Amino acid sequence: MKSFNIALLALQSLSSSYGFEQQQIPLAAAPPTSIPIPLLGYGTWNLKPNASDGVSCALQTGYRHIDGAAIYGNEKEVGKGIKDGLKKAGLERSDIWVTSKLWNNRHRPDQVPKALEQTLSDLDLDYLDLYLMHWPVATSSVTGKAKLDYIDTWHAMEALLATGKVRHIGVSNFDPIQLNRLIASSTIKPAAHQFEMHPYLQQPEWLEWHQAHGIHVTAYSPLANLNPTYDDPSAGDDRPPSLLENSAFKDIAEKRGCSGPAAVALAWGMGRGSSVIPKSAHAERIEENFGALECELEFEDLKVIAQQGRQYLTRFSNPSGNWGVELYEGLDGT
């Protein structure tokens, strides 16, 4: 994606000439962070009931990064898919990157190592490459009530590193206030932060902050509103178009010979230095998404994508109302 990165640098230097708003200018890829995470990953959220087939297919296709979580309820199937995919692709465990996440009901420090052991048992793995705190929110196993609670949980996660059962630890869905507080209160800085980011929620300033602090960013929902969970009929005509049906992305894909509009969005995300974790249960879509590695975008494409971000700025995942806690303070789309 050499031409993409050159175009990104040019777009930054000339952005004022085109009248772009700063918050929607794509960023050039940052220097590598300390973690060797493959930029193209395979997500497993809502991947039921055929998670094992999807994971195995992804590994055989060429993906080397699998993203999961305890709350997805499919880690046993994901583990079976990893085992099958490694065997059929002739790979070793050390050839791939596996991420999982600690759920909200296991935030109590004594519960953190137990939650990790359960995840490793379900996945049938000896270690994780990355273990994330899924949200800065703890829920009571008795009352079900939620509250912001993450410092003591993080300290318990720090202790996991000495066990060798996790190689890196990080967070997910934090806002600037929460992440700064965590860093100031801790010995070990998060190696990675996973949050919603896609062409309809570009967040360049937030991404740039992570790059400046050496924290890798993984973008979940990198294809925006393709997940049916995000379908909101009440939004009416205000709903952004599906990325697969967005004519701007279809035109770019045709012009650049990319495998489809999804590949354009994924290439855009990887070109900014973030890893992306698209999910699909269908072999043909898994292969199409993998084609993002061969999709090279040019200067004029980035202007179009920046415009799409301004026009359709939308955050699709925000459980603040359901949980009764404030999330994403100070970030776009809230």
Catalytically active residues are 72
- Residue 174: closest CA among 214, 209, 137, 205: 137
Return all residues near 95 (Cβ < 8 A) that are at least 6 apart: 64, 86
Bridge-based pairing of strands 146-148 and 137-139 is antiparallel
9 neighbors 246 (Cβ within 8 angstroms): no
Distances (CA, A) of 136 to 123, 124, 159, 251: 24, 27, 18, 39
Place of tokens 């999807």: 54
Per DSSP, the three-state class of 256 is helix
Written as six digits, the tokens of 91 are 């790979």
Q: How many angstroms separate the CA atoms of 124 and 186, rounded? A: 31
326-to-4, 190, 322, 334 alpha-carbon distances in Å = 37, 21, 10, 10
* 3-state SS class at 34: coil
